[in-house]
Amino acid sequence: MTARKFPSNFTDLGLRTNHNLITLVQHFLYDQLHPDSELPGCAVEPTLLPSLESTVAVFPSAIATFFAPSDVSGKCGLYRQRIRATPLWRRGDIPAPRYDTILVSTGDDADGFCGTHVARVKLFFSFNHEDIEYPCVLVEWFERIADAPEEETGMWLVQPELTPRNTRHASVIHLDTVLRGVHLLPYFGDQFVPVELHYSRTLDNFRYFYVNKYIDYHAFETVV
C-alpha cells in the first residue's frame, strides 16, 4: 500500500470530493467574515466571495467531548468520542472507507432533535484566512421526513437531503457547530437485505434511516 498526503490546495482536494469544495468553502468563509450580512454566502454574488489563498490540512477524525453524566464518563461527567472521516479505516473486519454521521447544532432555540440537523462527515480540514484558523467539516445533509418521531419505535426518521439537481446537498460548516456523533439505523422496510451488502456501505444503500436515540444515555436525552 502506498501512502501519500492529502493534497494541500483546495483545487486538488476538491477533485477528491464529489462536491464543489472551493465554492462551499467560499460560502462558509463569507458567512464567517460577514455574520450580520443579510444574504448568506450561498446567495451572494460570486464575485463578492472571498478568495482562498492558504493551504489546507486534512484530518482523519475529530474528538467530541460533551457533558454526559449518565454515561460511562470521566470525572465530572465528560464523555469523549471520536468521529471519523477517512478513506480507509483498518479496524473493521475489512478495511473500508468510514465516514461517520453527526448531529449539527442549528443555532435556533428549538429543543431536542428539532434544534439539530443530521449530517454525514466527508472531510475534516482546516485552513487559515487572515491569520485566523478555521477548523471545518464538509458535510452531506440529511433531512427529517416528518415532524415527529415514528410512533412504533419512538425514533426520528431522516433521509439524505438532495438538491433540486438530485445531488447530495452539502456544505462546509465550522467544527464548533458539531454536537456529537450520531448513529443511524437503516429503515429496512419489508424487503430482504442482500447478503453481500457489507455494513461499511450501509449509509449509502438505504433510503431512510432511524436516528438511534437508544445508543447511549446522552443520545436518549438529546434526540428527543
Partner 1 sequence: MVHYIESIALFGAPNGLCSSITETRHISAVKKPWRRSSRFNALAQVLITNQRLEKLSACRQDFTRRGMLSGSPYTEVHQELLQLSVPNPEDLQGDDAPAGVLNHVVLAKSKGILISPDGNQ
- CB of 57 vs partner 1, minimal distance in Å: 5
CB of 45 to partner 1, least distance (A): 32
> Binding to partner 1 (CB under 8 A): which residues in 50-79?
57-67, 75-76
Nearer to partner 1, 4 or 91 (CB): 4
Task: Kindly state the smallest distance separating residue 78's Cβ from partner 1, in Å.
Answer: 9
CA distance to 42, 98, 181, 186, 212, per residue, from 198 (Å): 36, 12, 21, 13, 20
- Write out the three cell numbers for 140: 452531506
Parallel, antiparallel, or unpaired for β 101-105 and 157-160?
Answer: unpaired
Of 180 and 213, nearer to partner 1 (C-beta) is 180
Contact pick of 178, 182, 211, 219 for partner 1 (by CB under 8 A): 178
Dihedral, CA atoms, 56, 57, 60, 64, nearest 10 degrees?
-100
115 torsion bin: left (phi>0), alpha (psi -120 to 50), beta (else): alpha
The residue from 40, 69, 92, 95 that contacts partner 1 (CB under 8 A) is 95
Q: What is the DSSP string of 36-74?
A: T-SS-GGGS-GGGSPPP-S-EEEESEEEEEEE-TTSS--
Choose, by CB under 8 A, the member of 30, 124, 141, 206 that binds partner 1.
124
**Separation between Cα atoms, residue 131 and residue 150, nearest integer Å:** 47
91 binds partner 1 (CB under 8 A): no
**Shortest spacing between CB 164 and partner 1, in angstroms:** 31
Residue 8 vs 202, nearer CB to partner 1? 8
C-beta of 52 vs 178, nearer to partner 1: 178
Element (DSSP H or E) covering residue 16:
helix 10-16
- Cell 456501505 belongs to 201
Binding site for partner 1 (CB under 8 A): 1-6, 57-67, 75-76, 82-83, 86-88, 95, 124, 126, 135, 175-176, 178-180
